[in-house]
Amino acid sequence: MQAGMRDPVVLVPLDALPAHGRTTHLAALYGRIFGRARTPSTAWLEDRMARGAVRLGASVVAARGDPTNPADWCGLALVGLPPSLAPAARAAGMGIVPESRGRGLGKRLVEAMCRRAADAGARTLEVTAHPRHVAFYGALGFRHVRTVETWAAPATTGTPPRWSPAPPTCGGHVLATEIAETWRCGRKPRHLVCTTDGTTVTARTVEVEGGCLVAELRSDRPPSGAGPLAELRSLAGSGHVFVTGIAPDAPFRRLLPRAGFRLVQRAERMARVLAPASATSDGP
């Protein structure tokens, strides 16, 4: 039975929900929140969980009624704490179904994410916000860190991915241009996860990992002598590909239009310093 709008909303960590079918129901909830075109595959979610980009104990669903009944779910907040991002955590998706917006639930979910990330040891929480949500996060204590862009290869159609994974580290430093994630569209979407060092890139390693295509872009010159531009052109020619997480001032970015990519989306990376871990609950 569908819960009524007057039922109290409870926030429940994902690891407290029955594991059977959980990822399928989460993917469906994404679709209800962000639109069907953005519904992720269960493989995508499982990959994020395996990589630590979504941590079950730090992530919650909001339920109006019975939290064990996915039909009652009305919001979600996914948080990741991948080792490469430590001591920061990053939201991998936060939103509320349209009929439950504007009642303070977004604020509750953000506070729950912050508490849970802090309890898991994070000192900051990063979000990747659409420009129209910058004010929402700003009012909740988040400060602007950087703009991130998504570029599409010439043949690419469909919807860009919403979230980029954690940036890699290099010699202990977070790389300037962060990780770049590309998404092959089609009947069975796949992901290409690419790292860059901000200066030059080469797609030297491409392998299948957890159902995803993973390309590691390095600054090393490839043995073939082909430059990063050639590698990007080859990537662009390989089908439907998005590259995300690109900083506007990254040297790597200048290569994208030369390789035929076009700018399709800008988002704002924001971060909030977290209060120390507490024993408080997620509130009423």
Q: Which residues of this chain interact with ligand COA, rule CB under 6 A?
A: 33-34, 94-96, 101-107, 129-130, 132-133, 135-136, 139
Q: Which residue is nearest to ligand COA (CB)?
A: 106
In whole angstroms, how close is the CB of 95 to ligand COA at the nearest point? 3
Q: How far apart are CA 147 and CA 165, in angstroms?
A: 15
Q: Kindly report the backbone phi and psi dihedral angles of residue 145, in degrees, each rounded to the nearest multiple of 5, phi listed first.
A: -110, -55
For ligand COA, the closer of residues 105 and 247 by Cβ is 105
For ligand COA, the closer of residues 27 and 206 by Cβ is 27
In whole angstroms, how close is the CB of 132 to ligand COA at the nearest point? 5
Q: Give CB contacts under 8 A, 24+ apart, made by 248-251.
A: 248/147, 248/149, 250/176, 250/177, 250/196, 250/198, 251/177, 251/198, 251/199, 251/200
In whole angstroms, how close is the CB of 8 to ligand COA at the nearest point? 15
b vs e for 207-229, b when ≥16 Cβ sit within 10 Å of the residue's Cβ?
eeeeebbbbbbbbeeeeeeeebb
In whole angstroms, how close is the CB of 9 to ligand COA at the nearest point? 10
The contacts of residue 51 (CB under 8 Å, 6+ apart) are: 80, 82, 165, 166, 210
In whole angstroms, how close is the CB of 188 to ligand COA at the nearest point? 25
In whole angstroms, how close is the CB of 11 to ligand COA at the nearest point? 13
**SS3 of residue 70 by DSSP:** helix
In whole angstroms, how close is the CB of 92 to ligand COA at the nearest point? 11
For ligand COA, the closer of residues 233 and 269 by Cβ is 269
For ligand COA, the closer of residues 33 and 250 by Cβ is 33
Q: How far apart are CA 126 and CA 53, in angstroms?
A: 12
For ligand COA, the closer of residues 103 and 262 by Cβ is 103
Could you tell me how far CA 164 lies from the centroid of its own chain? Answer: 4
Q: How far apart are CA 205 and CA 210, in angstroms?
A: 15
Helix axes 228-236, 251-258, angle to 10 degrees: 50
Could you tell me how far CA 45 lies from the centroid of its own chain? Answer: 10
For ligand COA, the closer of residues 129 and 180 by Cβ is 129
Containing 138, the helix (H) or strand (E) segment is: helix 134-139
For ligand COA, the closer of residues 50 and 135 by Cβ is 135
